[in-house]
Structures are given as C-alpha cells and as structure tokens.
Amino acid sequence: MGVGLVARRLASVPPVATMARGTHRRYFATFSYENGAVPRVGPNVFLAPTSAVVGNVTIGKNSSIWYNCVLRGDVNEIRIGEETNIQDGTVIHVAKNNAKGVALPTVIGDRVTVGHMALLHACTLEDLSFVGMAATVMDGAVVKKGAMIAAG
C-alpha cells in the first residue's frame, strides 16, 4: 500500500470524539461490528498511537491507554471509568454471554490501575482496584473496590 493511499485513508477517518488539548491522538481507526458501535472517548484521554480501540468501548475522562493495548468491544461493551490507567500491552476483551445467557461485558471503574501485559476478559474491576503486570482476570470475576491482583 503506497504512502499516498495510506494518507488518504487516514484523512477519511472521522473523529470519534472531540478531545481536549494535549491529547496524543485525535483520530483512530474504528471497526464496525454487527451492532455498528464505535468507541466513545472522554476529554483529556491519552490514547497511545499504537493502541487499538475497537467497537463498543467507552473511556472516561482523564484516563490513559498506553502503547500496544488492545480494547476489543466487538460482541459486548467495555466501560472504563475516569482517571484509570491501562498500561502497555494490556488486552481487554468481552464475552457475549455465559452458559446461563447472562451478558458479560468488561467494566473497569474509576481510578483503577492495570499493569503492563495484563489480560482482562469479561470481568469487573471496581473503583480504586489494581491489577498487576501480566495478571489474568477472566469471565465473571469481580475485583472489589480497593482490592489488588498480584502480578503474573
């Protein structure tokens, strides 16, 4: 793909949200899934240029999504609260529903820190919780307010 074609494609990508001054990215590629949802990004969000935010994702104000993170809200929603820090290489995904038919989004509260290379799948992290580097939190798990999941 030539440089001119890439530039034209990037120029045609509409802004997903109005972002405040000082943010790292104004535009990012989005993909439409069966429900046509696109990410919603609050003011003063840092979104690293190598991160991928796809589908039904909401990011609260003053949060940060660092380099090489993947947030994939394709079959359900991802909600990230305010002043939350998702560090490098973290993958966040969802599940449509469990065996009982209960929807399994990923919900991350306010002022949460998620360490480098963590995997969050269809879980809930309540306000002020912490997930260590390379930790895995899977379907239906709830990390209570102020709780910590150790690294690895």
The per-residue pLDDT for range 12-36, each reduced to its tens digit, is: 444 444 333 335 554 454 455 556 7
Closest Cα to residue 141, out of 85, 49, 152, 126?
A: 126
CA dist., res. 100 & res. 132, Å (int): 30
First to last CA, the chain: 39
**Residue 7 scores a pLDDT above 90:** no
CATH of the domain at 74: 2.160.10.10
Distances (CA, A) of 22 to 51, 59, 75: 17, 17, 32
**Three-class DSSP category at 7:** helix
CA dist., res. 144 & res. 15, Å (int): 35
124 versus 74: the higher-pLDDT residue is 124
Q: Which domain holds residue 16?
A: 3-149
Q: What is the pLDDT of residue 99?
A: 84
119 versus 101: the higher-pLDDT residue is 119
Number of domains in the chain: 1
